[in-house]
C-alpha cells in the first residue's frame, strides 16, 4: 500500500481515538461555509459544497454543525477566507503540502514557516514540491462493500481511473474534475461512500525509516494543530515493519 494511504489509515485510527474533535469539526465547518458562500447553498446544486458535506458526515460531524455552517454563509456574516497552499520539505527531504484557509495571510505564513523550522523541516517556494503530486479525486469504501473485482467493475463503470484494494478497504481514484460524477455513480452501485474528497496524490515517494517517520508525524501534528491549516499531505513511503512500530 502506498505511503499516502498508510498515512490516511494512521490519521483515521488516531481520529477515532481522539475524544476532543472540536478542532476537526471547526475545520470541516469552515470548508462548508466557504463552499456555500462561493456557490449555491444547496449541496445538490453546488458540487464543492456537496463534497464538503459528505466529508463532514464521514467524520461524524454533527448535523447541526453542518447546518449552522451553511446558514452562516447564507446570512452573509461569514468571514472572508483566502485559500493558500504552502509547500516544503520534512525529514529526509520528504515533500509536504499544506492547504490553508485564512483571514490573515501574514499570520498564517509566519506560523507555517515557524512550524516547519521548529520541527526539522524547511518551507519552500510555491511549486517546490507540487510537481511530485497530482490533483485527484479519492473515494473510499470499507472492505465489507465487496471484493476487489466487484469494486473494480463498479469503478470502471463510474469513470474512475484506478483502484487500490486491500484487507482494510478500497480506495478509488479519478480525475479531480470528475469526482462529483464518479462518487454519485459509485453510490448508486455500491451505496454510501466512506469518504469522498479531493487529494494530492504523490507521483514519487520518499522512503523513511522509523526515526524520520516519528519526526514527520511530529511536524504534521504541529501543522494540523494550527486552526488555519485545513489538511497536510506528504509523499512518504515506509515499510510495513516501520508502520507496525508506529
- Residue 215 belongs to some domain of the structure: yes
- Residue 147 belongs to some domain of the structure: yes
The three three-digit cell numbers of residue 240, written as one number: 510495513
For residue 131, count CB atoms less than 10 angstroms from its CB and return exposed for 0-12, middle for 13-18, buried for 19 or more: exposed
Specify whether 208 is located in the same domain as 122: yes
Query: Which region holds residue 92: left if phi is over 0, alpha if psi is between -120 and 50, else beta?
Result: left
Specify whether 52 is located in the same domain as 154: no
Question: What pLDDT, on a 0 to 100 scale, did the predictor assign at position 11?
Answer: 55
Specify whether 66 is located in the same domain as 159: no
Q: Note every long-range contact of 148-155, with CB atoms under 8 Å and residues 24 or more positions apart, other chains counting.
A: 151/190, 154/186, 154/189, 154/190, 155/182, 155/186
Residue located via cell numbers 514527520: 216
Residue ranges in the chain whose pLDDT is less than 50: 1-4, 16, 19
- The DSSP letter of residue 110 is H
Specify whether 211 is located in the same domain as 167: no
- Residue 138 belongs to some domain of the structure: yes
Question: What pLDDT, on a 0 to 100 scale, did the predictor assign at position 244?
Answer: 83
183-237 pLDDT, tens digit each? 999 999 999 888 889 999 999 999 999 999 999 999 999 999 999 999 999 999 9
Specify whether 11 is located in the same domain as 63: yes
Q: What is the CATH number of the domain that holds 166?
A: 3.30.70.980
- Residue 246 belongs to some domain of the structure: no
- Residue 18 belongs to some domain of the structure: yes
Specify whether 23 is located in the same domain as 113: no
- Residue 44 belongs to some domain of the structure: yes
Question: What pLDDT, on a 0 to 100 scale, did the predictor assign at position 7?
Answer: 53
Q: Which of 141, 138, 88, 139 is nearest to 117 (CA)?
A: 88
Split into its structural domains, the chain has a count of: 3
Range of the domain at 118: 82-95+103-127+204-240
Amino acid at each position: 500500500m502506498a505511503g499516502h494511504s498508510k498515512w490516511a489509515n494512521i490519521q483515521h485510527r488516531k481520529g477515532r481515538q481522539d475524544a476532543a474533535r472540536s478542532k476537526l469539526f471547526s475545520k470541516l465547518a469552515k470548508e462548508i461555509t466557504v463552499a456555500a458562500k462561493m456557490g449555491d447553498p444547496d449541496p445538490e446544486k453546488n458540487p464543492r459544497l456537496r463534497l464538503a458535506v459528505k466529508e463532514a458526515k464521514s467524520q461524524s460531524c454533527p448535523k447541526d454543525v453542518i447546518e449552522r455552517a451553511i446558514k452562516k454563509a447564507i446570512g452573509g456574516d461569514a468571514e472572508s477566507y483566502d485559500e493558500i497552499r504552502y509547500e516544503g520539505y520534512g525529514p529526509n527531504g520528504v515533500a509536504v503540502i499544506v492547504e490553508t484557509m485564512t483571514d490573515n495571510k501574514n499570520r498564517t505564513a509566519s506560523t507555517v514557516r515557524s512550524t516547519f523550522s521548529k520541527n526539522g523541516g524547511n518551507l519552500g517556494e510555491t511549486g517546490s514540491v507540487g510537481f511530485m503530486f497530482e490533483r485527484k479525486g479519492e473515494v473510499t469504501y470499507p472492505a465489507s462493500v465487496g471484493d476487489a473485482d466487484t469494486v473494480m467493475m463498479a469503478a470502471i463503470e463510474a469513470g474512475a481511473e484506478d483502484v487500490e484494494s486491500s484487507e482494510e478497504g478500497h480506495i478509488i481514484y479519478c480525475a479531480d474534475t470528475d469526482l462529483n460524477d464518479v462518487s454519485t455513480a459509485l453510490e448508486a452501485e455500491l451505496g454510501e461512500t466512506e469518504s469522498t474528497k479531493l487529494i494530492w496524490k504523490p507521483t514519487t515517494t520518499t522512503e523513511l525509516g522509523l526515526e524520520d517517520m516519528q519526526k514527520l508525524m511530529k511536524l504534521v501534528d504541529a501543522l494540523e494543530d494550527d486552526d488555519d491549516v485545513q489538511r497536510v499531505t506528504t509523499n512518504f513511503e515506509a515499510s510495513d515493519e516501520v508502520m507496525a512500530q508506529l
